[in-house]
Amino acid sequence: MAITSKPEQQPVARGWRMDPIPSRPAYKGDDDSIRIPIWLTKNGRHIADVEMVLLPSEAELLADCLAQAMGSDRSVLHELSER
């Protein structure tokens, strides 16, 4: 008798999670806000497609924080000082 093993399942992330929707890019809204399409999940189950709505200054701050976390030298203040 052949014994088959079950495929390993990855553990499901517990709690709420927000992930960008890869097929829908961020865009500028009519009110100049920056809108980022997001998948909202809870305990690994899709709850809704939503948008993170940011003021331009909040989007710049988020971009700087992400760049810093990735080890990039990008800085809005640095870019502004070069103009």
> Over its length of 83 residues, how does the chain's per-residue pLDDT go in tens digits?
566 666 677 777 789 999 999 999 999 999 999 999 999 999 999 999 999 999 999 999 998 898 888 887 666 555 655 55
Taken as a whole, the chain contains a residue count of: 83
Domain-wise residue ranges, the chain: 16-82
Whole-prediction pTM value?
0.68
Helix (H) or strand (E) holding 70: none
Measured between alpha carbons, how far is 64 from 70 in angstroms, rounded to an integer?
A: 10
